[in-house]
Amino acid sequence: MSKCCCQEQCKNWEGCVRQGIKKGFMYNSNDQQFLILNSTVRLTVSPNSSQVFKEESVSLSCEEDDSSAGWTLRRNTTKRQMTQCGDGWGEPAGSSCNINDIFPLDSGVYWCESREGSTSSIINITVSGGSVILQSPVLPVMEGHDVTLHCQTKSPPSKLPADFYKDGSLIRTEPTGHMTIHHVTKSDEGLYKCHISSHGESPPSWISVTEKPSTPPSSSLTTILPTKDLYPTSALTLLTSVNPVTSTIPVTPASIPPELVFSLVLHLVVFCPYFISTLLMVSLYRHRPTENHLPVSMVMTSPTQNEQGLEDDYDDVTELIHCDQCVLLLQ
């Protein structure tokens, strides 16, 4: 890991600060390493600009997700190293520090530090005694986001045509004094400055670009459509596959779409009459009469010619056959 020298060893302090921001560490005059550790604390600056005019007021705050207690604001300048707010500069107010009537000697790097020694990311503040500054973000810009640079004059009018430079090369001239870089990438990282004719040039400011966080590769989201005949296509079953376990996300009542409710009610309305009528038919069939004694009367047909002789002996013959008794009654 290469060192970042200080003003006594480098050609210019700006180069040292720029390397420190880019590499994530600094070395003070006693060659003590200054590391940036991972933490949840954020250092915010008001106004949100890496450059300010002298004799302006600047407020810096150490902010943490759950609390801001226990953090101290420190800085490195060209004159003094590792000093905290209230030690000859600034007015501490809890985890904040207010600097009134800031001067070029206050230019340097600032950070928040806890009692345990962990630190926030460092920011660079440049105090200009000139008539032009470049207002740029204090913190690094994430890839894919837009960033706007303002070329500002100390005296009005402030929105004048300005030339914008990156790493010493002219980018373009903007008529209103501000330039927007859309969807920044790592290639946009560099040292920027601006120039306004008849007013002068701003100090340079380093703009850092951070990579966009990527999705963890171990998890995936799979969408499965249910049967088309049963549910509308808007009803989805979400399965979250986390290697090697597969879990199903339960569908709560609040997440059921109205189309699914309507479809279920419609199916019930159609099915209920059919179900009720089927029950009634089964019930009637089970309770039908079971008597088998059904009398049947039969009248014999007229005798044939072979049987005509019997008519002399019998005048009238009537046969009544009772089916289940098998009885013949003759008259």
- Going residue by residue through the chain, which has 331 residues, state the pLDDT in tens, using 9 for 90 and above: 333 444 333 334 444 444 444 334 343 333 333 444 445 688 999 999 999 999 999 999 988 766 556 788 999 999 999 999 999 999 999 889 999 999 999 999 999 998 888 888 899 999 999 999 999 999 999 999 999 999 999 988 878 999 999 999 999 999 999 999 999 999 999 999 999 999 999 999 999 999 988 765 443 333 333 333 433 333 333 333 334 333 344 444 445 677 777 788 877 777 778 788 888 888 887 776 655 544 544 445 555 555 555 454 444 444 444 444 444 443 3
Distance between CA 208 and CA 191 in Å, rounded?
A: 9
CB count, 10 Å around CB of 138?
A: 21
pLDDT for 67 equals: 57
Q: Of 8, 58, 3, 9, whose CA–CA distance to 27 is shortest?
A: 3
pLDDT for 153 equals: 95
Distance between CA 108 and CA 240 in Å, rounded?
A: 49
How buried is 111 (Cβ within 10 angstroms: 0-12 exposed, 13-18 middle, 19+ buried)?
buried
- Angle among Cα 191, 196, 199 to the nearest 5 degrees reads 120
Distance between CA 204 and CA 260 in Å, rounded?
A: 61
pLDDT for 118 equals: 83
Ordered structural domains, the chain, with CATH: 1-129 (2.60.40.10), 131-213 (2.60.40.10), 219-286 (no CATH), 295-331 (no CATH)
CB neighbour list of residue 323: distance below 8 Å, 6 or more residues apart: 294, 295, 296
pLDDT for 243 equals: 41
pLDDT for 196 equals: 97
Q: End-to-end CA distance of the chain: give it in Å, rounded.
A: 136
pLDDT for 203 equals: 97
User: Do 311 and 302 form a contact (C-beta atoms < 8 A)?
Assistant: no
User: Do 281 and 300 form a contact (C-beta atoms < 8 A)?
Assistant: no
Beta partners for 132? 153
What are the φ/ψ torsions at residue 275 (nearest 5 degrees)?
-65, -45
Distance between CA 221 and CA 134 in Å, rounded?
A: 45
